[in-house]
């Protein structure tokens, strides 16, 4: 997602920051900025778009000599990608950069505004710098002011703060978002990822959650969450940048599968509250007068839409249809203005989805997009947008974008269900509880990955794969099959399990591989009998289930069997890892499969 770089030392600070941020470009961003304190004086620059824009803006600025500097690349999650919303955020005499989300920023902002503080941006981050300055005004020493500030924050953060109140000093804190301190003699670097400092420093300390402190030339003071001092024990920095960009994983896709647990936490942050689901990005009354929903998307995003339709109809009791955008465009659909038109898109640039949206708008429909890229064409064209907060997705085969799209649709279902009064309060509590447990269902356990790796060698041939499931697990079967064919080039189909006997079962023999999604919480007995029918025809079966299934040739046991969506997410991870391990064994480039592009901007 966003990137952070910091530096304390005598070198030209602008170029250190810009070069460091350049190394973090691969993480995606839509604006950037930096601030320098040198000779007791603060300067800052911000620009929307690529780093080249920031370089141009700061072309005449130099900053050699003792001082400190902080820089940031921003991927918009709260507020549009504008210069005002770009980091660093400023107070009267301090600047802050921040990765993560401050969950309680609204009450903090109200409190500060009541004390006369004026906010410039729409971000959650800005509260940090104002809180800090209020504490200074109350008479606290700068470090005590910083300590008191982070004590008020809830949510996830990696923070760097500089201030005229403490020249040549960087205050830092980490909770839930990555941050490291790298050393080169007296010079001190900070970064959200080691790629930014490889080649500049030799050793680094990777902060743990709850740690904070301050640094000035030749000195780093680190504190544990219980406020006790802690020694800075550094380890050598890796030397391979490409490997560091992938956080040590073999492929971006692998990294993104592992990241799902974290990004889903970002997706729900500040939206899943004790009393229900809130989308502050949606205008008041946005759903008034809406009688039905049409979801429109392509590929993986379409599969997320299919999943959402099951949820929306079942829980929010609102009629919902799902359309493939390229079909929708030419079918001369009947559109009624009391239908909400929902597009789903990772990139926000998919040509068919964009054109379908324009068509719906021409017909007078209200539009909402569920998208990963703010300011993309689809976001700009839509009446409202809910950002999925997955961060940039580099692997062509979508993984974490899908997970976050499904999560947003689940949250939207609950939000609408509450508004429409279709849900008992006990159900709402149960759903919220399950949502909060989703990050753990998405965690990849080493043992599971190893098992899938070992199993994958048996699935490199055959005349085809059938992924089968029922209900919510039918779209997941479609998605599992799509993942496999995209990167392994093996033929795979997703099917509703109950449909097999209406034709496809004719293909069943020992060389037909069936991946059976058998959740405990949703129609277990039904899917079981469908799989038994296939087994009776000698199909090779890999069952994914929390229940032991004797007729399976291979079996992957899942653990989260307390809620259908937790089963969904856990099984999703299994299918993603299976596709990836098969593709790796077949020697394919998992991140850039043949014939595919990440963003399909042509019809
Ligand atoms: C598959 C995949 C594609 C996209 C589709 C729509 O792994 O990524 O099927 O889902 O091209 O793209 P977006 O979501 O960007 O509109």
As a whole number, mean pLDDT of residues 576-591 equals 96
Catalytic residue among 11, 50, 361, 598: 598
Is residue 492 one of the residues assigned to a domain? yes
**Mean pLDDT across 357-371:** 97
Nearest alpha carbon, ligand 1 atom 3: 299
251 is a domain residue: yes
The whole-chain average pLDDT of the chain stands at 94
Q: Is 479 in the pocket of ligand 1 (CB under 6 A)?
A: no
- The CA 299 to ligand 1 mean position distance, Å, reads 5
Expressed as residue numbers, the domain containing 225 is 3-239
Residue 599 pLDDT greater than 80, yes or no? no
Out of 192, 211, 239, a domain closes at: 239
Q: Is residue 161 part of a domain?
A: yes
Q: How far apart are CA 452 and CA 148, in angstroms?
A: 47
Q: Looking at residue 502, what DSSP letter applies?
A: G
Q: Are residues 18 and 152 in the same domain?
A: yes
Q: Are residues 297 and 351 in the same domain?
A: yes
Kindly state whether residue 602 falls inside one of the protein's structural domains: no
Could you read off the pLDDT of 411-432 as tens digits, one per residue? 999 999 999 999 999 999 999 9
pTM for this prediction: 0.85
Centroid of ligand 1 to alpha carbon of 303 (angstroms) = 10
Indicate the range of 151-165, 468-482, 550-564, 589-603 predicted with least confidence. Answer: 589-603
Clarify whether residues 325 and 339 are in a common domain: yes
How far apart CA 215 and CA 218 sit, in angstroms, is 8
Distance 473 CA to ligand 1 centre (A): 19
Identify the domain boundary among 438, 464, 496.
Answer: 438
* Span of 200-204, 242-246, 513-517, 578-582 with lowest mean pLDDT: 242-246
474-499 average pLDDT score: 97
534 in any annotated domain = yes
CA 252 to ligand 1 centroid distance, Å: 16
For residue 271, give the nearest of 389, 441, 130, 393 by alpha carbon.
389
Are residues 500 and 464 located together in one domain of the fold?
yes
Ligand 1 nearest-atom number relative to CA 303: 10
Spacing, Cα 298 to ligand 1 middle (Å): 6
3-state class (DSSP) for residue 540:
strand
Is ligand 1 within 6 A of the CB of residue 399?
Answer: no
Residues 334 and 367 in one domain: yes
Whether 598 is in a domain gets the answer no
In 3D, which of 490, 478, 318, 477 has the Cα closest to residue 413? 318
Q: Which atom of ligand 1 is nearest to the CA of 598?
A: 8
Closest ligand 1 atom, CA of 483?
Answer: 7
Instruction: Give yes or no: residues 164 and 278 share one domain.
Output: no
The per-residue pLDDT for range 373-398, each reduced to its tens digit, is: 888 899 999 999 999 999 889 899 99
Do residues 306 and 274 share a domain?
A: yes
The atom of ligand 1 lying closest to the CA of 405 is: 14
Q: Is 598 a catalytic residue?
A: yes
Using a pLDDT cut of 90, give the percent of the chain over it: 83
| Any ligand 1 atom below 6 A from CB of 405 | no
Residue 599 lies in a domain: no
**Domain boundary, last residue among 438, 471, 486:** 438
Task: Provide, rounded to the nearest whole percent, the portion of the chain with pLDDT above 70.
Answer: 100
Q: How far is the CA of 100 from the centre of ligand 1 (A)?
A: 26
CATH number at residue 582: 3.40.50.10490
Same-domain check for residues 296 and 215 = no
Mean pLDDT of 126-145: 97
Pocket of ligand 1 contains residue 397 by CB under 6 Å:
yes
Max Cα-Cα span within the chain: 80
pLDDT at 595 over 90: no
List, for residues 6-54, the tens digit of each pLDDT value. Answer: 999 999 999 999 999 998 887 778 899 999 999 888 999 999 998 999 9
Give the span between the Cα atoms of 150 and 164, in whole angstroms.
19
Q: How many helices (H) and strands (E) does the chain have?
A: 17, 27
Average pLDDT over residues 483-508: 94
Q: How do residues 319-330 score in pLDDT, each as one tens digit?
A: 999 999 999 999
Q: Are residues 73 and 210 in the same domain?
A: yes
The total number of structural domains that make up the chain: 3
Q: Do residue 227 and residue 309 come from a single domain?
A: no
Tokens of 438: 């989703």
Residue 239 is predicted with a pLDDT of 80
Q: Cβ(134) to ligand 1 under 6 A?
A: no
Residue 398 CB–ligand 1 contact under 6 Å:
yes
Q: What is the mean pLDDT of residues 288-308?
A: 98
Query: Distance, CA 414 to ligand 1 centroid (Å)?
Result: 25
172 and 250 within one domain: no
CB of 600 closer than 6 angstroms to any ligand 1 atom: yes
Distance CA 135, CA 150 (A): 11
Looking at the fold, whether 126 and 182 belong to one and the same domain comes out as yes
Question: What's the CA gap between 293 and 301, in Å, rounded?
Answer: 16
Residue 1 is predicted with a pLDDT of: 63
Tell me if 486 CB under 6 Å of ligand 1. yes
Q: Ligand 1 pocket: which of 302, 346, 396 to mutate (most atoms <8 Å of CB)?
A: 346
Assigned domain for 597 exists: no
């Amino acid at each position: 997602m966003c990137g952070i770089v910091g530096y304390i030392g005598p070198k030209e600070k602008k170029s250190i920051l810009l070069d460091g941020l350049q190394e973090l470009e691969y993480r995606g961003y839509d604006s950037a900025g930096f601030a320098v304190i040198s000779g007791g004086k603060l300067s800052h620059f911000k620009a929307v778009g690529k780093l080249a824009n920031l370089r141009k803006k700061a072309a005449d600025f130099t900053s050699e000599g003792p001082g400190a500097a902080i820089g940031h690349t921003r991927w918009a999650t709260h507020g549009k990608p504008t210069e005002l919303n770009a980091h660093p955020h400023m107070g009267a005499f301090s600047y802050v950069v921040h990765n993560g989300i401050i969950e309680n920023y609204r009450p903090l902002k109200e409190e500060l505004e009541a004390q006369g503080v004026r906010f410039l941006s729409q971000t959650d981050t800005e509260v940090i710098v104002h809180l800090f300055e209020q504490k200074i005004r109350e008479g606290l020493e700068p470090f005590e002011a910083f300590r008191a500030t982070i004590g008020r924050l809830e949510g996830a953060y990696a923070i760097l703060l500089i201030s005229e109140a403490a020249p040549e000093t960087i205050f830092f804190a980490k909770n839930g978002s990555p941050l490291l301190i790298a050393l080169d003699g007296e010079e001190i670097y900070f970064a959200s990822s080691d790629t930014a400092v490889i080649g500049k420093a030799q050793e680094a300390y990777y902060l743990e959650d709850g740690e904070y402190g301050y640094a000035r030339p030749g000195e780093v003071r680190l504190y544990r969450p219980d406020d006790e001092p802690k020694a800075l024990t550094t380890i050598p920095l890796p030397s391979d940048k490409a490997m560091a960009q992938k956080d040590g994983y073999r492929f971006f896709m692998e990294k993104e599968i592992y990241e799902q647990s974290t990004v889903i936490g970002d997706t729900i942050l500040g939206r899943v509250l004790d009393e229900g689901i809130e989308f502050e990005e949606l205008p008041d009354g946005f759903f008034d007068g809406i009688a039905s929903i049409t979801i429109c998307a392509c590929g993986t995003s379409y599969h997320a839409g299919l999943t959402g339709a099951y949820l929306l109809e079942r829980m929010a009791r609102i009629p919902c249809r799902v359309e493939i955008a390229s079909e929708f465009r030419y079918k001369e659909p009947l559109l009624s203005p009391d239908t909400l038109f929902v597009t789903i898109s990772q990139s926000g640039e998919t040509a068919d989805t964009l054109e379908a949206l324009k068509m719906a708008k021409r017909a007078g429909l209200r539009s909402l997009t569920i998208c990963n890229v703010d300011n993309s064409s689809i976001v700009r064209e839509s009446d409202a947008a809910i950002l999925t907060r997955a961060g940039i997705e580099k692997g062509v085969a979508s993984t974490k974008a899908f997970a976050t799209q499904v999560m947003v649709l689940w949250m939207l279902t609950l939000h609408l269900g509450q508004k429409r009064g279709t849900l008992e309060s006990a159900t709402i509590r149960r759903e919220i509880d399950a949502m909060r447990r989703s990050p753990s269902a998405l965690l990849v356990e080493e043992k599971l990955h190893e098992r899938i790796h070992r199993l994958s060698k048996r699935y490199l041939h055959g005349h085809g794969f059938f992924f089968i499931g029922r209900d919510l697990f039918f779209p997941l079967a479609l998605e599992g099959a799509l993942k496999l064919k995209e990167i392994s080039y093996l033929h795979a189909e997703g099917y509703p399990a109950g449909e097999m006997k209406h034709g496809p079962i004719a293909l069943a023999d020992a060389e037909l591989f069936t991946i059976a999604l058998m959740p405990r919480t949703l129609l277990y007995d039904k899917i079981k009998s469908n799989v038994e029918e296939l087994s009776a025809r000698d199909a090779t079966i890999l069952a994914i289930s929390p229940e032991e299934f004797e007729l399976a040739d291979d079996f992957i046991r899942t653990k989260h069997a307390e809620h259908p969506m937790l089963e969904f997410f856990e099984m999703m991870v299994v299918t993603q890892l299976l596709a990836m391990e098969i593709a790796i064994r077949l020697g394919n480039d998992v991140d850039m499969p043949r014939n595919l592009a990440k963003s399909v901007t042509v019809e």
